Amino acid sequence: MKNLLGIKPPGIVQLHDKRLTRREIALSVARLDEVHPLISGNKFYKLTYYLSKALKSPSPEIISFGGAYSNHLHALAFTAQALGIKSTGIIRGEKPTHLSPTLQDCAYYGMNLQFLSRNEYRLQQNKLLQIQDSYENPIIIPEGGFGEMGMQGAALMYDDIRGNEYTHIICACGTGTSIAGLLQNADSSQVITGISVLKGYPNLKRDILSLVPGKTGENLQIFHEFHFGGYAKYNADLHLFMNEWYRRFEIPSDFVYTGKLFFALDHLLEHGFFPRGSRIICIHSGGLQGNRSLNPGSLIF
């Protein structure tokens, strides 16, 4: 599937600063944002098994869910078109007068967009089978790829980032599907850390563990205090940090996921969270297309 879509292996970049040297910490970033110009980050991994199942159908069709700036739907729309799969996106919120750049792309790539009020959307998310009645044997992908197939796909990241070489793996999480995949393949001695970008999701760890039976979660930790007000929320401090991070390491980030991830990582390093001698891999999960919604000039990259 990777060869069909031109997906490249992620590059691994080692970062250097005085704090790392002082504590003998090796910190690397897995540049999943560079694996493909449109299917960037962890999205391809989470979609892999859903797409494989769809391609076995004589008339493949996929339905999935997301908001106006969904990286998941953006990647799915392009990938489905490239593989000859019909796609439908169920969009959270009433149809706006002007589509977001993300949804404009989705429509351009042939995705059928259907809009639901937030209340209707919440009900449909809880009753996915209701939607199947309107379609002919579609593959339904929950929001963000959440589910066993999404987790199994995300688990493929572990080998691609050479996960066994690190004591700590850290990434941003929304639904927690990627964290679940990493947890499945990680050794019990490795610490898996998720930076939640959602506000008010106290059951995130429970939902992650529901995807990986047999894992106790003793080596899983979730931080909930770096969401900057909630999903896709931001302020001037976050933008300042994202620009400063780019000046220091030439790594761009997005305000929904990876900006908050790097902010949290920087905070944890500053406060001595990681033990001396730690070997850390931080996963850049892409999503840079979402920055198009920001005012011009907000970011320097």
Q: 300 in a domain, yes or no?
A: no
The 3-class SS string of the chain reads CHHHHCCCCCEEEEECCHHHHHCCCEEEEEEHHHCCCCCCCCHHHHHHHHHHHHHCCCCCEEEEEECCCCHHHHHHHHHHHHHCCEEEEEEECCCCCCCCHHHHHHHHCCCEEEEECHHHHHHHHHCHHHHHCCCCCCEEECHHHCCHHHHHHHHHHHHHCCHHHCCEEEEEECCCHHHHHHHHHCCCCCEEEEEECCCCCCCHHHHHHHCCCCCCCCCEEEECCCCCCCCCCCCHHHHHHHHHHHHHHCCCCCCCCHHHHHHHHHHHHHCCCCCCCCEEEEEECCCHHHHHHCCCCCCCC
For residue range 23-63, list pLDDT tens digits in order: 999 999 999 999 999 998 999 999 999 999 999 999 899 99
Alpha carbon 143 to its chain centroid, in Å, reads 11
Q: Cβ atoms within 10 A of the Cβ of 284, count?
A: 28
Q: 24 in a domain, yes or no?
A: yes
Q: pTM for the whole thing?
A: 0.93
Q: Is the domain of 161 the same as that of 218?
A: yes
Q: What is the mean pLDDT of the chain?
A: 94
Q: Is the domain of 97 the same as that of 111?
A: yes
The token pair at 99 is: 């589509």
Amino acid in the structure at residue 154:
A
Residue that finishes a domain, picked among 90, 122, 145: 145
For residue range 78-100, list pLDDT tens digits in order: 999 999 999 999 999 999 999 99
Lowest mean pLDDT among 125-129, 188-192, 213-217: 125-129
Residue that finishes a domain, picked among 145, 179, 198: 145
Q: Is the domain of 191 the same as that of 68?
A: no
Exposure string over 138-149, b if 16+ CB within 10 A, otherwise e: bbbbbbbbbbeb
Q: Is the domain of 131 the same as that of 51?
A: yes
Q: Is the domain of 118 the same as that of 159?
A: no
Q: 299 in a domain, yes or no?
A: no
Q: Is the domain of 140 the same as that of 173?
A: no
Residue span of the structural domain in which 69 resides: 43-145
Q: Is the domain of 140 the same as that of 163?
A: no
Q: Is the domain of 165 the same as that of 32?
A: yes
Q: Is the domain of 209 the same as that of 258?
A: yes
Which CATH number covers residue 160?
A: 3.40.50.1100
Q: 301 in a domain, yes or no?
A: no
pLDDT of residue 43: 95
Q: Is the domain of 173 the same as that of 284?
A: yes
Q: 298 in a domain, yes or no?
A: no
Residue that finishes a domain, picked among 95, 110, 145: 145
Q: 83 in a domain, yes or no?
A: yes
Domains identified in the chain, total number? 2
